Structure 1
Amino acid sequence: MQAVEWKVRLHLFEDDEGTTRARVVLDTGTTELTGQGTAHCHPADTNVPGIGDELAAGRAMTALAKELLDAAERDIEGMGASRPSTRETVGWTT
């Protein structure tokens, strides 16, 4: 059995106007993929930084997941396989 470790770093930034930005970086040891997300506090709402962090981080991770799936699809095509019609059909089943 082989174990591989990938490292993920999440950076959160909040400005004085209630905007939170997140950047997540996946380091596989051979490549890095990134995702970014933002969250904005509506002026009428109470600014709760933790909620902005959660939203921005979740959106950044969603963007990263898309990047990772896109990379896998490119790799599959590079092996001569055809691109599947939906992401759910790619790779191993659960």
Structure 2
Amino acid sequence: MKKPQLNPNDMRTYPVQKSPCLTCPFAGREPLILADFEQYIENLMGNGQHICHSTDKNICRGGRDIQLAWLCSVGMLDEPTDAAFDRAIDDACPR
């Protein structure tokens, strides 16, 4: 099966890391220190995704988990899962 083409205007086309990398600034065992951590969190709260710093092509698992918890807490998702996120995006932005 052919991999879907990555589309920078549709984050649904990017794979999500299965688990946080060792140096994930959001959930790693040896987290990378971010100079402007609040800016990254603000981005996750409705402005975008965070691309994993160690792959430069996958969505960061640690950042996604923060995002899922927040979206669920404000009622935008019925559960904090990737599947619920994908359903909400499909409902809001059909392909």
Q: TM-score, normalised to structure 1's length?
A: 0.30
Computing the radius of gyration from Cα coordinates, the structure with the larger value is 1
Pick the structure with more strand per residue.
1
